[in-house]
Amino acid sequence: MQQIFNFIFKNSNRLLFLLLLATSLVLVIQSHSYHRSQMVNSANFLTGTVYEEVNEVKTYFSLREQNDKLARENAELKRILFNKKDSTSVLEKDSVKGYDKIDVIQSKVVHNSYNTSENYLTINSGSKDGIKPDMGVVSSQGIIGIVEKVSPRYATIFSILNVKSKINAKVKRTNHFGSLIWNAKNAGYVQLVEIPRLASVKKGDTIVTGGNSRIFPENIPVGIIDKIYIDTETNYYTLNVRLFNDMTNLNHVYIIQNKHGEEIKKLEAETKKNE
């Protein structure tokens, strides 16, 4: 017994080091394993408040630019509205259920990262505003990511610029599905993989989100094809996609809530259980 105590006293610094090292390595490994495993994240009161204050100062310099962006978006929405037969009628509700399937919550990015291999954003709305994990996040130009962690007033977003990200997408013209991934090389480009070789894709085709996702509705713009690589081993194309979004300059975002998402999720879980 005496010897054990002696050992602990003699090596107390080394033991302390090993204990703290183990703790930090557990946190690292946890953050690298799959989705929503992150314990250390910026969706909490302290980091959220600090980022909001910093962002307050930063956005002041880009007010004009952001206003122009919103005005352009308004013009686009007006164009769609005026081209309808009756521009005063409200959009039709779902004819069976009588309510909209998709809800949109507006929010603001207070912290944006795009220079590591696993990027996250922080937004200034949380569970109080109805944000829940696994909701899709888009801007006026295209997709941004998926809600990861939620606190009462803030939430972190798993960016599409994250090597763990895998989002269902398709080529708009030919309707061929694939997965959207990121190779951590350039913040302006993502990769669309698993597009079969028989698809006749060409440079300049538009990529949109596919219908296989319960997070994003179909046909949200992603980007255009910039380069086509042929994978000699797998018979699939790898497409380099230039994003419509400038991921380095984000401010106003929309969070998409698919009201049927929970139902689909439950159904899928039950199906899996029965197999």
Partner 1 sequence: MNSTLILNIIRFVLLIIAQIVIFNNIDLFGFINPYPYILFILLYPVNSNRAGLLVASFLLGLTVDFFANSGGVHAAASLILANVRPAFFKFAFGLSYEYQTIKINDRLSPERFTFIFISIITHHFVMFLLEFFKFTFILDILLRTIVTTIFTLIVSIIIIYLFKPSKR
Residues that bind partner 1 (CB under 8 A): 12-13, 16-17, 20-21, 23-32, 38-42, 44, 46-47, 50-51, 54, 58, 111, 113-118, 120, 122, 156, 163, 184, 187, 248
In the complex, what is the shortest distance from the CB of residue 13 to partner 1, in angstroms, rounded to a whole number? 5
Please report the DSSP string for the chain in residue order: -HHHHHHHHHTHHHHHHHHHHHHHHHHHHHHHSSSS--SS-S-SHHHHHHHHHHHHHHHHTTHHHHHHHHHHHHHHHHHHHHTSS-TTSPPPPPTTTSS-SEEEEEEEEEEE--SSSEEEEEES--GGGT--TT-EEE-SSSEEEEEEEE-SS-EEEEEEEETT--EEEEETTT--EEEEE--SS-TTEEEEEEEETTS---TT-EEEE-TT-SSS-TT-EEEEEEEEEE-TTTSEEEEEEEESS-TTS--EEEEEEETTHHHHHHHHHHHHHH-
Q: Give the residue with the Cβ less far from partner 1, 40 or 63.
A: 40
Taking the C-alpha atoms of residue 253 and residue 157, their distance in angstroms, rounded to an integer, is: 11
Q: Give the residue with the Cβ less far from partner 1, 28 or 104.
A: 28
In the complex, what is the shortest distance from the CB of residue 23 to partner 1, in angstroms, rounded to a whole number? 7
Q: Give the residue with the Cβ less far from partner 1, 108 or 172.
A: 108
What amino acid is encoded at 31 in this protein? Answer: S
Taking the C-alpha atoms of residue 224 and residue 141, their distance in angstroms, rounded to an integer, is: 12
Q: Give the residue with the Cβ less far from partner 1, 32 or 72.
A: 32
In the complex, what is the shortest distance from the CB of residue 37 to partner 1, in angstroms, rounded to a whole number? 9
Q: Give the residue with the Cβ less far from partner 1, 6 or 74.
A: 6
Taking the C-alpha atoms of residue 103 and residue 95, their distance in angstroms, rounded to an integer, is: 16
In the complex, what is the shortest distance from the CB of residue 132 to partner 1, in angstroms, rounded to a whole number? 19
Please, what is the end-to-end C-alpha distance for the chain in angstroms?
55
Q: Give the residue with the Cβ less far from partner 1, 187 or 228.
A: 187
In the complex, what is the shortest distance from the CB of residue 110 to partner 1, in angstroms, rounded to a whole number? 12
Q: Give the residue with the Cβ less far from partner 1, 121 or 169.
A: 121
In the complex, what is the shortest distance from the CB of residue 150 to partner 1, in angstroms, rounded to a whole number? 14
